[in-house]
Amino acid sequence: MTIETIYTGELRTQATHLASQNTIITDAPIDNNGKGEAFSPTDLLAASLGSCMLTIMGIAANTHGFSINGTKISINKIMVANPRRIGEIVVDFTFPLNSYNEKEKMLIEKAAATCPVALSLHPDLIQTINFNW
Distance CA 46, CA 88 (A): 9
Q: Which residues of the chain have pLDDT under 70?
A: none
104 φ, ψ to 5°?
A: -65, -40
pTM of structure: 0.93
What pLDDT score was predicted for residue 99? 85
What the chain holds in terms of domains, given with CATH numbers, is 3-32 (no CATH), 41-132 (3.30.300.20)
